[in-house]
Amino acid sequence: MADDIDRAQQQLAQDIADATSGEDKQLSLKVRELGEQLARLLSGLLRMARMHALTNAAFDAPVSQFRGILRELWEMLGTVNLVCVEDQVYVNDVRIRFEMSAEHVESLADDLARHGVGGISFNQVLEEVDVRKLVELFHELPPEDAPPRPTLQKKLAEAGMVSMELHGLFRFKVQDEVARSLDRDYALLYTMAVAVVGEAFTNISADRLPNPIPVRRMINELIDAAKLCSTADLATDHDRTFTPLARHTMMVVDLSLLLGKAAGLSDEVLADLGIAAAFHDVGSAMTDGGYPVPYERHATAGLRALMRQRGFHQAKTRRLLAVAEHHNPFESERGRPSLFARIIHIVDDYDLMTRNRPNEGPVMAPTDALARMIKVSGTVYDPVLLQVFVNQMGMFPPGSLLALASGRTVVSVSGARSPETFAKPLCHVLRREDGTPARKGTYVDLAEEDRIFKLLRPRPERATGIDNPKTATSWMPDR
Amino acid sequence: MTDENKGTTPETRGRDSGPPLADDAPASLANVNAETGAPVTKEEPVFTEDGEVEEAVGNTEVGKCCSEALVALGRAARSFLLYEADNKAITKFLEDLRAKIHMYLSRYGDMVLTVRPWEMALGREVVYVNRDRERSLAFRLFRDGVRKVTLGKSMAWEELSKFLGIISIRYKGIRQQEDDVVTLLWKAGFKNITIVAVEGFIPEDEDYIDQQDRGMLVRGIFHDGSRAFDQPAPELAERGPLSHVAVDPARLSELTAETTNLALPNQAVSLLREVLQTASDPAEPLTLEEARTTIDEIRDFLLSEGLLTHLLSVLKLLKELHFRTEDEELQETLIGAFSDAKALSRIIRSVPPGLRELPTDLIDLVSAIPGDRVQLLIDILGQERSRHARWAVRSLLAHFAADSLDYLVELVGLLDGPAPGDLLLVVADLNMAKAFEVAMTIDVDAEHELLSTAMGIIERNAYSREVALKLSQFLESQHADIRSRSLKVLVSKRERWVFMAIIQRLERHHTSGIEPHEIEELATAMVQIWQTRALDQFQRWIKPKGLFRRVIQGQVNLKWAAVHGLAMIPDKSAAKYIQMVIKDSSGQLASYAEECLTRQRSLTGGAGNG
């Protein structure tokens, strides 16, 4: 038993040492300190407004201080989120310890809550006149005949403060609630993830310190939710209203997690992989001297941006490597890329070849993309990982358009369900034998019936004598 | 998370947990009430760091037992604030924690706790209270979002210690950039510990995904579709065959091996290589200054792990690459930081003990150091205390200081502490003749290490009159081993003049100030050098004549020396004089004399009984 205690003590020491090396203590202390000042000043200003007119000189100093602190926080973190939840105050996920009495916390929360506001996002720095206006508007009584928060938001916009966002009342989110929401729809989670990753991109592109924790939490949820999903769920572009970069990033995240899991990576490692995938193209959001970074340098631009995060951590090391190397070939005189980079390289290129581009459609069919990748397996792509990926996606990955022998036109909605059904996916019927649109929700399992006549391609494909469906006409599918 | 347990499927997360604590009775259990089985209230209160008592609470036996366990948990978590991680005090806290948790789980099963800001409750019973923000386990957990904790009956010690680690990190106030408590708990993948925590906050009305509003306010390429661009697809011209091919599990194992801690050093070096090459590319805007923090962090990691080969590869790269003009000064600074005294000390300390030869990587690393390597090594030598580290530094000096012999010799005379001894050894490695010259100048009052080294050099060199003189000085050293070694050499050369020196030493310390083994050593030397004179002298010490009789009669050390020496002389009179001592003495001297008599008789075959 003494050995168990010794081992535990050594492991505890190591864990604490690792945590310490991954800390950016300066940043943490600074955020807490400034956040506390910000919240206290706002609370104080709102209380003063009950007693004095806003033109009173007593407001000058605290208004100026508020603006200064907001600027400092914004320059460090980007959007500053001040949230009152139950009896706590948070600034950008950091819980503020009030040295004052709880009465001040309650007062701030009450002043916001009477307008139906639980939190404020400051997306830009405010001028002093804006701060006074903010205090004035919060001091006013909310309307009796209109919803208070939208009314206040509108007044702020009319006063020129379009960069401020008012949020409704909050409550703590407890874990088992998350399970219930995820049961509904992976697509919903995908949408939430876009918001979180997008905010991270925005902050990083504005030269602020990267903060991976919100993204990590999101990725953890995706990993757990993916256990209930099929390959097709993960390999589907859930929302085409998002920008190309957003859709591509999320697809790379999803497919990286799919490939990583199939390769046997643990959840803990998958979480790190997911974050690396989320940030793999962050360099595309950067600018160089005010101009967009050229595509050829987006990897190093991403590396440069993410290096601003301080603290040594193995996840960070692997993430930076992945961002820097994700276009490097498997065999290279620069050495073999890291594991995460090799995974992301495969799924990144796959998506770039198969995604539906605005006004263009996909470059090629998924089958052709995989076939081309297999040809350079071992030189451009990691052969083991690529084969795992092919085994998961099947001969006709989700999204493949097929003409069946029966005359039906279908789209694949499954990956390979087994080695035996590698080339026989489950399909959603688009058109009947006679060419008319099929009833919604009609499926055909090619493992059970019918057979593939032809792979329908978006563009002419040169056949090279391999046993794949021969050239089709150029065709833009009507989905 | 999809389920309350967070462990999801065992094969995806979690660890090999070991046997359940409830079944695994620790050696040290709290005293148990024979009737109820609950722990007996401690005889001593448990003190917190400032002497404030943190007592267990609880109205029922179950509650009290639970409370004891929670107090132990809080104490163990706080202990890392006060003590170094390897301190024995922490070991005791861990033992206590294990015992108390075992006590509860084995008797009462799952421990289901509700966490409130200042207290924790088991059902309706409050089992923990502490209103001190800094010390309260309840507050720490509540602040980090934990609202309910269940320690399952099947929980193993490994899981509990992992949980303790997470709490301890937060007690130390560490706020990591990569993880918070929620993600740490997820990563841990507990099978038998269930945590219900808040994971942030959500709007009460759930319409919080409003992309349009968000897009209006949060500009950026991720949301701003006006920045229309798309990445080019790779140009892969040829097709290959697609089929399902089973992947060898061994190949997959190779992949997962890249995710272990063992792979991290290579990955860190790869990253650094990538960063440095980018910073040296004039087409890239990345500067060395921007990369500095990353470089420092990885360097510190490699240093802390003592990874010579990796450090060396990075150092080589730093030296070989050409950076912008404005980065050149920083380049030198960074190179220096890989090989300054502090860095080199850490590396040297990581050299495994017991090596007979230095790792070539270490030699190469020191070769890469700009500036005065010899002085750097000498500085380190002055600070190092560990034997194998000093061996490493000496070996390095022997390698690098061949042209600095005179300087080393000069320093032998100037420095304090153990360093001069080490330097003399280095001189001996480089030039034994020179080392011998120096050894012969060492004063008898020099530091022990230096004296010892000098002695060693002298022992290895040819004997001469000068050596004899030097050794005679060393006979007066305050260090017993130096005296002993000097005597051995002189005795081996049968230097008769030493005889008087020995007598003088013994007579100076006739009653005290000398250990028995040295007395015996000196007496032996007398016999070896000049037996007949020794016999005579011993007899005089036992039965003094004339004026000195009264003076010498009570001098125990002399008699001790005498009986010891007489035991080596096969003469009838020797036995007779030993018997005189036996007769006239008592205690230890008499006993020793009897032993000596036995030995003496064995020399003479039992004859000579006086």
Q: Amino acid identity, residue A122? A: F
**Distance in Å, alpha carbon of A52 to nearest chain B alpha carbon:** 32
The interaxial angle of helices B405-414 and B432-439, nearest 10 deg, is: 20
Which of A 39-78 lie inside 8 A of B, CB atoms? Answer: none
Q: What is the pLDDT of residue B204?
A: 63
In this complex, which of B86, B199, B239 lies closest to A368 when CB atoms are compared?
B239
Residues near B317 by beta carbon (within 8 Å), at least 6 away in sequence: B272, B273, B276
Secondary structure (3-state) at B443: coil
CA distance B166 to A16: 9
Contact A455, A468 (CB under 8 A): yes
CA dist A70 and A80 (Å) reads 8
The yes-or-no verdict on residue B116 having pLDDT over 90 is: no
In one-letter notation, the amino acid at residue B125 is: E
Residue A148 contacts B where some CB pair is shorter than 8 Å: no
What burial class does residue B554 get, using C-beta atoms within 10 Å of its C-beta: 0-12 exposed, 13-18 middle, 19+ buried?
exposed
Q: From the list A6, A174, A339, which residue is nearest B255 (CB)?
A: A339
Whether B229 shows a pLDDT value over 80: the answer reads no
One digit per residue, the tens of pLDDT, for chain A of length 479 reads 678 888 888 888 877 777 777 766 667 778 888 988 999 899 999 989 988 888 889 999 999 999 999 999 888 777 788 888 877 788 887 777 655 456 666 678 888 988 989 889 888 889 999 999 999 999 888 888 888 888 898 889 888 888 888 888 877 666 555 554 544 467 778 878 888 888 888 878 877 778 788 888 889 888 888 887 776 677 776 666 778 888 889 999 999 999 999 999 999 899 999 999 999 999 988 887 777 788 888 899 999 999 988 888 889 999 999 999 999 999 988 889 999 999 999 999 999 999 888 777 888 999 999 999 999 999 999 999 999 999 999 999 999 999 999 999 999 999 999 999 999 999 999 999 999 999 988 999 999 999 999 999 887 654 433 233 333 332 223 22
B223 contacts in chain A (CB < 8 Å) = 198, 202, 242-243, 246
The pLDDT of residue B233 is 83
Tokens 């209380």 locate to A47
Which pLDDT score, from 0 to 100, does residue B547 have? 63
Q: Residue B53 — φ and ψ, nearest 5°?
A: -80, 130
Whether residue A79 and residue B218 make contact (CB cut-off 8 A), yes or no, is yes
Q: What is the 3-state secondary structure (H, E, C) of B513-576?
A: CCCHHHHHHHHHHHHHHCHHHHHHHHHHHHCCCHHHHHHHHCCHHHHHHHHHHHCCCCCHHHHH
Task: Please report, for residues B502, B535, B576, B594, B596, the alpha-carbon distance to residue B556 in angstroms, rounded to integers and kept in the order given.
Answer: 16, 17, 18, 15, 15
Query: Hey, what are A398's tokens?
Result: 């989700």
Out of A264, A349, A394, closest to residue B252 by CB? A264
Cβ-proximal residues to B70 (8 Å cutoff; 6+ apart), any chain: B56, B113, B120, B127, B128, B137
More confident residue, B171 or B403: B403
Cβ-Cβ contacts under 8 Å for A68 (sequence gap 6 or more): none
Closest CB to A175: pick one of B4, B133, B219: B4
> For residue B234, which residues of chain A lie inside 8 Å, CB to CB?
349, 352-353
Query: What single string gives the DSSP state of each residue in A384-430?
Result: HHHHHHHHHH-SS-TT-EEEETTS-EEEE----SSSTTTT--EEEEE
Lowest mean pLDDT among A138-152, A288-302, B169-183, B574-588: B169-183
Residue B436 clears pLDDT 80, i.e. is over it? yes
In Å, how far are A87, A221, A275, A316, B267 from A257, measured between CA atoms? 38, 12, 10, 17, 21
Predicted pLDDT at B440: 94
Q: B112 near B148, Cβ under 8 Å?
A: yes
d(CA A276, CA A66): 36
pLDDT tens figures, B122-135: 988 889 988 887 78
pLDDT at residue B27 is higher than 50: no
Question: Is A161's Cβ below 8 Å from some Cβ in B?
Answer: no
How far apart (Å, rounded) are the C-alpha atoms in residues A13 and A23? 15
Give contacts of A314 with chain B, Cβ < 8 Å.
261, 264, 267
Cβ atoms within 10 A of the Cβ of B80, count?
Answer: 24
Q: Which of A192, A284, A320 sits opposite B271 (nearest CB)?
A: A320
A-chain CB neighbours of B196 within 8 Å are: 174-176
pLDDT of residue B215: 39
Q: What is the distance, to the nearest Å, from the Cα of residue B388 to the centroid of all Cα atoms in its chain?
A: 12
A93/B219 touch (CB, cutoff 8 Å), yes or no? no
d(C-alpha A237, C-alpha A357), whole Å: 12
Rounded to the nearest angstrom, the minimum Cα separation between B368 and chain A is: 23
* Beta bridge pairs of residue B176: A23
Tokens at B462, concatenated: 């040819």
Check if the beta carbon of residue B105 is closer than 8 Å to that of residue B111.
yes
Minimal C-alpha gap between B542 and chain A (Å)? 59
> Across the interface, do B204 and A168 touch by the CB < 8 Å criterion?
yes
Phi, psi (degrees; rounded to nearest 5) at B22:
-60, -30
For tokens 């990897």, name the residue: A299
- The two structure tokens encoding residue B203: 């709007």
Among A152, A145, A75, residue whose Cα is nearest residue A117: A152
User: What's the sign of the alpha-carbon dihedral B151, B154, B159, B160?
Assistant: positive
Amino acid symbol at B88? K
Look at B2 and A225 and tell me if their CB atoms are within 8 Å: yes
Among B101, B139, B221, B229, most A C-beta atoms within 10 A, so best to mutate, is B221
Helix (H, G, I), strand (E, B) or coil at A212: coil
**CA neighbor of B141 nearest in space, from B73, B85, B68:** B73
Of A20, A284, A373, the CB nearest to B221: A284
Q: What is the pLDDT of residues B305-340, one digit of tens each?
A: 878 888 888 888 888 888 888 888 888 888 888 777
Section B183-196 average pLDDT = 85
Q: Which of B143, B172, B247 sits opposite A16 (nearest CB)?
A: B172
d(C-alpha A86, C-alpha A108), whole Å: 11
The per-residue pLDDT for B206 is 46
Q: What is the dihedral of CA A19, A20, A26, A27, to 10 degrees?
A: -10
- The single residue listed with the structure tokens 């007066």 is B476
- Indicate the residue of A217, A268, A467 with minimum beta-carbon distance to B182: A217
**Within an 8 Å CB–CB cutoff, is residue A363 touching chain B?**
yes
Contact B295, B334 (CB under 8 A): yes
Q: Is the pLDDT of residue B159 over 50?
A: yes
What pLDDT is attached to residue B177?
67
Dist CA A427 CA A271 (whole Å): 31
- SS3 sequence of B127-164: EEECCCCCCCHHHHHHHCCEEEEEECCCCEHHHHHHHH
Which H or E element spans position B203? Answer: strand B193-203
C-alpha span between A191 and A214 (Å, rounded): 14
- List, in order, residues 6 or more apart from A120 with CB less than 8 Å away: A81, A82, A112, A164, A165, A166, A167
Block residue for tokens 């020491």: A13
Q: Which residue of B has its CA nearest to A182?
A: B2
Look at A391 and B189 and tell me if their CB atoms are within 8 Å. no
Q: Pick from A97, A178, A84, A161: which is nearest to A126 by CA? A: A161
Interchain pair B271, A321: CB under 8 A: yes
CA B300/CA B279 separation, integer angstroms = 20
Whole-structure pTM value: 0.68
- The answer to whether A368 contacts chain B (CB < 8 Å) is yes
Q: What is the dihedral of CA B249, B255, B259, B260, to 10 degrees?
A: 60
d(Cα B445, Cα A213) in Å, to the nearest integer?
Answer: 64
Could B274 and A325 be called an inter-chain contact, meaning their C-beta atoms sit closer than 8 Å?
Answer: yes
What is the predicted pLDDT for the residue at B472?
A: 87
CB pair distance less than 8 Å for A285 and B286: no
Kindly identify which residue of chain A lies nearest to residue B157, measuring between CA atoms. Answer: A4
**Smallest Cβ distance to A374: which of B172, B242, B267?**
B242
Q: Does residue A160 belong to the interface with chain B, where contact is any CB pair within 8 Å?
A: no
- A6 Cβ under 8 Å from any chain B Cβ: yes
CA B392 to chain A, closest CA, distance in angstroms equals 27
Q: Among A352, A344, A350, which residue's Cα sits nearest to residue A325?
A: A344
Contact B311, B303 (CB under 8 A): yes
Q: Which two tokens stand for residue B64?
A: 């009290």
Sheet (strand A426-431) strand order = A443-445, A426-431, A409-412, A401-404, A452-456
List C-alpha distances in Å: A429 to A239, A408, A434, A437, B8.
21, 7, 12, 8, 35
Q: Tell whether A292 is within 8 A of chain B (Cβ).
A: yes
Tell me the DSSP string of A275-288.
Answer: HHHHTTTGGGG-EE
Q: What is the helix (H) or strand (E) element at residue A445, kind and residue range?
A: strand A443-445
Instruction: Please state the ipTM of this predicted complex.
Output: 0.75
How many C-beta neighbours within 10 Å does residue A3 have? 7
Least confident of A275-284, B158-167, B353-362, B417-426: B353-362
CA atoms within 13 A of residue B482's CA, in its CB half-sphere: 26
Strands B125-129 and B146-151: unpaired
Q: What residues contact A370, with CB distance under 8 A and at least 6 apart?
A: A350, A389, A390, A393, A397, B242
